[in-house]
Structure 1
Amino acid sequence: MLKRLLSAYSALEGRYDELLAASGDPRPHWDAFLHALAEREGAGVSDTLALMERQVRENGITYNVYADPKGADRPWEVDPLPLLLSPREWDEIEAGIAQRAELLNRVLADVYGEQSLLRSGAIPPSVVFGHGGYLHQVQGIRPPGGVHLFHYAADLARSPDGRWWVVSDRTQAPSGVGYALENRLVVSRVFPQLFRDLHVQHLASYFSHMRESLLRWAPKGDGAPLIALLTPGPYNETYFEHALLARYLGFALVEGTDLTVRDGRVWMKTVEGLKRVHAILRRQDDDYCDPLELRSDSALGVAGLTDCARRGTVLVANALGSGVLESGALLGYLPKLSEQLLGEPLKLPSVATWWLGEPAAFEDAWKRLDHILIKPLERSVKEPAVFGADLSADERTVLKARVAARPQRYVAQEWVHVSQAPVLERGAAQQGDHLSARTVGLRVFAVATPQGYRVMPGGLTRVANDRNSRVIAMQRGGGSKDTWVLSDGPVNAAFSLLSSTVTPQDLVTSRGNVPSRTAENLFWFGRYGERCDDSARLLRVAIATVLGATDANADGRSDGLVPVLALAQRAGLIDAADNPGTELLRAATHPDEGLSQRLRQLSRVAFNLRDRMSADNWRTLNRLIGDPVFQRGSSLPLALAWLDRAVTTMMTLSGYVLDGMTRGTGWRFLSIGRRIERLSNLCMTLQVATHEGRADGLDWLLELADSTVTYRSRYLVAPEWLPVLDLLVRDDTNPRSVAFQVKGLVEYIDKLERAHGRFASDVLAPAQAALQALQPADLHPESEALASAIEQLQRAAHTVSDELTLKFFSHAASRSVLSLVA
């Protein structure tokens, strides 16, 4: 079986193969894995791929490739076969990465401190000052603990002789650690027994070190330390990772607008007021972090953050200005710097790199152009690396002239034919799923601790998108792998990041830290959820009425269809009622209109809440949005079956809100959003029903309000105006009635007003009084009192939404908080 598995796999000449030795036999540390995989050959391998793809899709793992039309919806690509590293080679990588992180931290401390390395010429001043990552505004700032480089990543590649080399350093806001964690969660579920039997080292301790170090070095005061993860927002390429890390580490996920600076300290805007932020794990570029001192056109940063870092009132990790270490020009100086600063040789060498700002290096580069690549000093999407061997004589002349105009902005780097590893690839029907070779690179991570740098036992293995790719880049459509670092003996599988001790103080201070933006997203998640549910129910009733119409009027329409179509028009689902079947089918199944459009609105809001949504909640939503009905043609009967699924799934999402969320501040905002939207929809439905409906055709109204069973259990007569309106308007025990929504709104608003002052009860009170004043005699279509009460309640719902926005989402600190920070 093993021979059949490897029959389609071939090593590329001139590259190190991670799987096969030079003899063509599997390397020893791969043997157990390959034999287990061979036992899954055929249908088992296909099932493995299908399981992986389903987990990625249902978990909503995404990576935003900016040039991809799918945008933020592009699924993260992870291959089920991990990259295996033996204990011996990992020990060498781990020691080299820890040493390199310590070296770079010392370089950074000197660059923004005494600058002795620049004065002595150990680093040419133009290498530092000519790089866009150097920020003179942060000169002299010493971060808490003296750690400038809190989190570090290095991109490694293995050369044909089997040695690992550092291709580049990631020091500004290293990405990938969250994706490495997600890859581990996904792949370990596919191979659970192998994961245990091979003694794969776990990742949890690394994240524990990260959290504990931030808590240790965060400045004290104003209660227990509050740590925030600063993200550029949901349109950033790695936003999924930001949300995952915030949830896993227990940090608040914030954008720049969630934070404010008062009296030299950073505060998070929450619905409970301002909360002191002690440490910020930032995931956005240096110069975007502070529009006041850094990049003035940044809408992503926090005005005054640099001054707070200067004062030492907040820990910013990594320290502002860390991006200067990503200069490719520094790579060539690190060996001597290691001897000078650490007193030892560099354990993990860099790929040979020459800064072309040196005349000798510039001239030498053109002599060896066939063996090097020329790339900008700073990473640039607009100006990619150029392989010298690809250029014609004329193109070489043009390139040399362009580089000669600004040689200090470029580096030359040796072209290394990096290693390849096996991937599981789908094949044609006759070929089947099989192993194929792909170029790979390894991103390894380190985090600072009081005992030195700790290296994640694994990392993010990046995979080229085709067999002949020379560049591995996620923005060019590359994939990824989990990285398994094997151990000689059993590992501590009992350790968990969730096992830390919680004190009574933590129980008190953990409440109420809901950022205003998060509260707003929860509010709109509730509203959009109800809007989708109402749309699905309305379309279901309308299509069922079209299919079952037998008692037709002179115009060929059943009694129930007239008001239903009028309601669908008012709701914006259809444009006209001339061709109801076609219009309703389009609203139900078109991928860009009607119900699908509203589901995507719900998904966009949900994406902003990734750190607060359970995996089950997210899977359910993704199944709803990814239903096959949107990818193929449909008919009214099939659309009706789809709407049945949609309504059931929406009820499942509502169940997560009712049974899966604690009754905290966030839940209250979400519930208010649901009640406001449902009240508004009910009012609109009742207005149409009383205007267009007939007493002998009210089944559609009960069905739309999900109250048919309740009505039939109470009344042994066909639907009539009096009992139907009593059930849908005045009965506060019916979850689909107007009175039930008003009762809940009054309760939620009252609880908020007790803590934050009056803002909406004065609006609700008159509308509630008008509802309570309705008598049974008013429950008929011609009743002016009923029409007035419904109109008043609809206006109140909209006004409460506006008042809530002004009170909590357009944040302004209360006087008590202002006096605290003054």
Structure 2
Amino acid sequence: METKENTIFENYFKDFSKYDELLTADMTIKPDWKSLLDNLLKIGSKELASKQSEIDWLLAENGVTYNVYNDPNGLNRPWNLNIIPFIIQQKEWRLVEKGIQQRSELLNLILKDIYGERKLLKEGIVPPEVLYAHRGFLRACDKIQYKTAKQLSIHAVDLARGPDGRMWVVNDRTQAPSGMGYALENRLSNSRVIPELFDNINVKQPSKFFKDFNQLLLSAVPENKSNPTIVILTPGPHNETYFEHAYLSNFLGYPLVKGNDLVVRNGKVWVKSLKGLKQVHVILRRVDDAFMDPLELREDSYLGVAGLLEVVRQQNVAIVNPIGSGVLENPGLIPFMENICKYFLDEKLILPQIASWWCGQEKERNHVFDNLTSFVVKKIDRSQRENIIFCEFLSKKELKKLKKDILTNPNQYVAQEKIYFSTAPNFVNEKLEPRKILCRTFSIAKGDGYSVMPGGLVRVAAEREKLFVSNQRGGTSKDFWVVGEQKENQLQLYSWNKTFPNNIISINDVPSNTAENLFWSGRYVARTLLTARYIRMVLNQMTNTQFNSKYQPNSESLNILYHSITTITSTFPGFFDEEKGDDMLKDPLKEIISVVIDETRIGSFAQSLQSFNGSYFTLRNLWSKDMWRVFDSIDKIWKNFKTEENYSVYAMTKFFDKIITRLIAFMALTEESIMVRQGLLLYFIGLQLEEASITIEKFRALVVVNHDEDLEYEILESLLSSHESLNIYRYSYKSYLSLENVLKLLLLDNEYTRSFSYQITRLQKDINKLPNNGLNNEPTVCQINIDKALSLIENITLEAILEVDEKSKIRLKLDTLLSELSDLFHVTSMAISDTYFNHSQQQKQLVNRNITN
């Protein structure tokens, strides 16, 4: 009779690996895994599959992503978490933890020595070429002194089960270690979706570790500051782990900034806020060493801060981890670590390492050449993502070339014994399958020692026989359980030291880059929504006038609307193309489709949507989960629409119905999720500026020219429909459509939120709330111009703007008014950018420093 156990373990025992986490050598279940297995069997494979789908859905809904460069499926690939955790017992973990703490301390001492006395080189313990041939060694960091107890603040270590059954060190990550946020999200997701998995299992929780992590940042403040400014420095949304940068910013409550948010003045680092400069005391960086200071390191970098290293030398800012710590990510150091440990600590390494041979030594190089097919060869410096070479798979010709490459530059190569990662159960197609795993955990400086995360992040090979364990290569992840004897409260409390508040307390303190992104997010979402509404209105009118399949122009009003699409979207020449004019009017749908889907066309709906996506994603740390869900649904609707084979009027109208609803929902959630003092004020200003500007273009396209009564009626009805104001008009005036009443409602009504007058009044109020950085509190250029715009509207008379020039049939005064308002809005927008978002800073390297060879 088939049991649940037989079903879930079907095919697990075939191709048994050299070491499996679940099974003993005689292929029986290890006692350490028994409780988890009992829970899995109790839940059952069908329910597990349902829960796995729920986890996949939850991660996608929460916007947990891992960016993969050149991924054909797009930049923001969903993070994958397998429902089966990896387990290690606390009895074994205590030794691993002790070994990690020893290794962290050892790396800390190496880092201090490399940029300090260099005893390791002087005593001949490490050959100079191992360090100096590595791009991570930065001469500009020599002799820098730090006030923190430890120079190495954060250490990530990759572990794998070695051939002796112990956990071995595979890699050290010290530059800007990633994975902490993903590990926390994995735990929270598993706890939420499948709490019964934890039944009768005492899983150690990471809450104390994250409290220690927050305290680490506070303790790094270089001066006795009661309210320090701590920021997280990110390369930006295209970085592979950008989700984690935003996640930690949101979780810890520290602003997420880019390099152009920061500036060096008077020997200190400042964040550029709306009010001015605000000193930064601690930078948690996620930018690689070489890109941190274009004046002394890579001069082509726009990710760092010019002059930053000099501020570090003066001990006026703390960088976590210190610039230059990437030199520790050097596999060329591994062959010498045992001697280094003996020299510094007078101890043996607690955790074994992969056996390694540095090819810069003749004896070791000859040994490598004699046994080349048994080794994995890599460069000591993998900062440019050089490949790992599995020599057993190379042809004779390839082996000969590799030897030649090594002989040409032996200092650059290290050979390592190929170890077989252990396998652990993965839930695939309602069955358990063994997959190779690699564990990553973290230690952080705490007092005189290091605090280690109980667990961490487990990466899993993508397929059953895969050798590579890498998220970049399509792998998945697991929750990492350290199981103890003492039960812990499953409720994880994350509260920070309240002695050092780091909150943004007013609009003045918002980083200027964040403010700029909010401003343009407001503009882009308004542009995207209003473009969608306008094109949908035209499509509806095409249907209403019985637009036929032969695409024959059948009304003058439609021809005016077609031309207005070009005017409002600025997709010139469009319907104004004199050479193609008649042909385009015979087949207007072709041009409309181009305006909708052509992402390379400036002003198109597709480009506006693309800009909306880009601007909002840079603000990922400010989003609520609901915002991500709506954002993701917009993206999915757009991708599905682009696969349409037939872009009919009906198909496009249906698409716009869906996208408009979600854009409106996203706008509402933006106002709910971001506080005015966090920069929402700039979002409102951008939104109102864009709405007012497009309103001007609508008036210019549709009502400046005088039409006969019947045609004007159709045009006015279209204008009100595109403005979502037709019902409001009928409720307010209950009369035949007239231009006079339409202008009263859409142009001059101070109480109607969609009227032009209301938008300018709102703009004036919001702009007046911006910081005034001028002398004697004089009005800013922004204030002066928006005041002029409001004055123009307040002093205009209906009689004047309704007046028609008999010769040209144009309402000249209305046209002049709209032109002046358009110019004022343009100047206002430019003034806002110049006053509050000026990030430009010409960077010139002080010394020639080539670190890319």
SS at match of 1:484: strand
1:699 and 2:717 equivalent? yes
Greater CA drift, 155-164 or 258-267: 155-164
CA, structure 1 residues 592+642, in 2 after alignment: closer, same or farther (shift >3 Å)?
A: farther
Greater CA drift, 629-638 or 480-489: 629-638
Residue 70 of structure 1: how far off its partner (Å): 4.2
Q: What's 2:845 paired with?
A: none
Normalising by structure 1, what TM-score?
0.92
Q: What's 1:655 paired with?
A: 668
Q: What's 1:337 paired with?
A: 340
Greater CA drift, 687-696 or 325-334: 687-696
Answer yes or no: is the 8 Å Cα contact 2:506–2:678 preserved in 1. Answer: no
Residue 805 of structure 1: how far off its partner (Å): 0.7
1:754-786 CA-partner distances (Å, limit 9, x unpaired): 465512122223322221123343464844333
Superposition pairs of residues 669-708 of structure 1, within 5 angstroms: 669-691=682-704, 694-697=711-714, 698-708=716-726
Q: Return the match for 1:530 from 504, 519, 526.
A: 526
Distance, in Å, in 1 between the alignment partners of 2:628 and 2:412 is: 45
Distance, in Å, in 2 between the alignment partners of 1:607 and 1:169 is: 31
Distance, in Å, in 2 between the alignment partners of 1:701 and 1:781 is: 20
1:806 and 2:834 equivalent? yes
Residue 354 of structure 1: how far off its partner (Å): 1.3
1:467 and 2:484 equivalent? no
Distance, in Å, in 1 between the alignment partners of 2:369 and 2:591 is: 66
Residue identity opposite 1:714 in structure 2? S
SS at match of 2:156: strand
CA, structure 1 residues 233+499, in 2 after alignment: closer, same or farther (shift >3 Å)?
A: closer
Q: Return the match for 1:540 from 530, 536, 541.
A: 536
Q: What's 2:193 paired with?
A: 190
Distance, in Å, in 2 between the alignment partners of 1:522 and 1:748 is: 14
1:409-448 CA-partner distances (Å, limit 9, x unpaired): 111111001112233335xxxxxx4433321111111111
SS at match of 2:421: coil
1:182-201 CA-partner distances (Å, limit 9, x unpaired): 32333333213324653322
Answer yes or no: is the 8 Å Cα contact 2:508–2:771 preserved in 1. Answer: no
Distance, in Å, in 2 between the alignment partners of 1:731 and 1:15 is: 79
1:750 and 2:772 equivalent? no
Distance, in Å, in 1 between the alignment partners of 2:525 and 2:213 is: 36
SS at match of 2:752: coil
Q: Return the match for 1:717 from 735, 738, 744.
A: 735
SS at match of 1:228: strand
Q: What's 1:454 paired with?
A: 451
Distance, in Å, in 2 between the alignment partners of 1:676 and 1:247 is: 29
Residue 508 of structure 1: how far off its partner (Å): 7.8
Distance, in Å, in 1 between the alignment partners of 2:40 and 2:654 is: 40
Q: Return the match for 1:765 from 761, 783, 787.
A: 787
Answer yes or no: is the 8 Å Cα contact 1:355–1:361 preserved in 2. Answer: yes
SS at match of 1:767: helix
Residue 632 of structure 1: how far off its partner (Å): 3.7
Residue 10 of structure 1: how far off its partner (Å): 3.8
Greater CA drift, 564-573 or 161-170: 564-573
SS at match of 2:54: helix
1:385 and 2:399 equivalent? no
Distance, in Å, in 2 between the alignment partners of 1:337 and 1:439 is: 31
Residue identity opposite 1:795 in structure 2? D
Q: What's 2:407 paired with?
A: 404
Greater CA drift, 164-173 or 693-702: 693-702
Q: Return the match for 2:237 from 231, 234, 238.
A: 234
Greater CA drift, 283-292 or 542-551: 542-551
Residue 218 of structure 1: how far off its partner (Å): 1.1
Q: Return the match for 1:604 from 604, 614, 637.
A: 614
Distance, in Å, in 2 between the alignment partners of 1:304 and 1:482 is: 41
Answer yes or no: is the 8 Å Cα contact 1:81–1:482 preserved in 2. Answer: yes
Residue identity opposite 1:610 in structure 2? R
Residue 624 of structure 1: how far off its partner (Å): 0.7
CA, structure 1 residues 219+326, in 2 after alignment: closer, same or farther (shift >3 Å)?
A: same
Distance, in Å, in 1 between the alignment partners of 2:750 and 2:88 is: 64
1:707-758 CA-partner distances (Å, limit 9, x unpaired): 1232222222243222222111001221211111100111111222646551
Distance, in Å, in 2 between the alignment partners of 1:31 and 1:63 is: 33
CA, structure 1 residues 120+550, in 2 after alignment: closer, same or farther (shift >3 Å)?
A: closer
Residue 7 of structure 1: how far off its partner (Å): 1.0
Residue identity opposite 1:281 in structure 2? L
Aligned-residue Cα RMSD (Å) equals: 2.7
Answer yes or no: is the 8 Å Cα contact 2:507–2:770 preserved in 1. Answer: no
Answer yes or no: is the 8 Å Cα contact 2:229–2:502 preserved in 1. Answer: no
SS at match of 1:300: coil
Q: What's 1:790 paired with?
A: 818
Distance, in Å, in 2 between the alignment partners of 1:559 and 1:48 is: 58
Answer yes or no: is the 8 Å Cα contact 1:228–1:277 preserved in 2. Answer: yes
1:145 and 2:145 equivalent? no
1:370-391 CA-partner distances (Å, limit 9, x unpaired): 3221111111556422222223
CA, structure 1 residues 220+31, in 2 after alignment: closer, same or farther (shift >3 Å)?
A: same
CA, structure 1 residues 39+289, in 2 after alignment: closer, same or farther (shift >3 Å)?
A: same
1:235-265 CA-partner distances (Å, limit 9, x unpaired): 2222222121122122221222111111111
1:605-628 CA-partner distances (Å, limit 9, x unpaired): 112111122221122111111113
CA, structure 1 residues 167+507, in 2 after alignment: closer, same or farther (shift >3 Å)?
A: closer
Distance, in Å, in 1 between the alignment partners of 2:506 and 2:150 is: 27
Residue 588 of structure 1: how far off its partner (Å): 4.8
CA, structure 1 residues 380+517, in 2 after alignment: closer, same or farther (shift >3 Å)?
A: closer
1:118 and 2:130 equivalent? no
Q: What's 1:668 paired with?
A: 681
Q: What's 2:349 paired with?
A: 346
Q: Return the match for 1:248 from 232, 251, 269.
A: 251
1:32-82 CA-partner distances (Å, limit 9, x unpaired): 434444455565344334323333333333323224234523333332332
Residue 397 of structure 1: how far off its partner (Å): 2.5
Q: What's 2:634 paired with?
A: 624
SS at match of 1:626: helix
CA, structure 1 residues 773+509, in 2 after alignment: closer, same or farther (shift >3 Å)?
A: closer
Answer yes or no: is the 8 Å Cα contact 1:145–1:217 preserved in 2. Answer: yes
Residue 175 of structure 1: how far off its partner (Å): 1.7
Q: What's 1:271 paired with?
A: 274
Answer yes or no: is the 8 Å Cα contact 1:691–1:781 preserved in 2. Answer: no
Superposition pairs of residues 139-538 of structure 1, within 5 angstroms: 139-195=142-198, 197-220=200-223, 224-379=227-382, 383-426=386-429, 433-501=430-498, 512-538=508-534
Greater CA drift, 29-38 or 604-613: 29-38
CA, structure 1 residues 516+421, in 2 after alignment: closer, same or farther (shift >3 Å)?
A: same
Residue identity opposite 2:480 in structure 1? T
Answer yes or no: is the 8 Å Cα contact 1:721–1:781 preserved in 2. Answer: no
Answer yes or no: is the 8 Å Cα contact 1:63–1:75 preserved in 2. Answer: yes
Residue identity opposite 1:636 in structure 2? V
Residue identity opposite 2:820 in structure 1? Q
Distance, in Å, in 2 between the alignment partners of 1:719 and 1:398 is: 82
Residue identity opposite 1:743 in structure 2? T
Q: Is there any run of 5+ residues in structure 1 with no aligned partner, and where?
A: 427-432, 814-822
Greater CA drift, 55-64 or 241-250: 55-64
Greater CA drift, 196-205 or 721-730: 196-205
CA, structure 1 residues 631+480, in 2 after alignment: closer, same or farther (shift >3 Å)?
A: farther
Q: What's 1:128 paired with?
A: 131
Answer yes or no: is the 8 Å Cα contact 1:591–1:630 preserved in 2. Answer: no
Answer yes or no: is the 8 Å Cα contact 1:205–1:495 preserved in 2. Answer: no
Greater CA drift, 318-327 or 155-164: 155-164
Answer yes or no: is the 8 Å Cα contact 1:278–1:314 preserved in 2. Answer: yes
1:90-121 CA-partner distances (Å, limit 9, x unpaired): 22222211111011111211222222222212
Greater CA drift, 52-61 or 618-627: 52-61
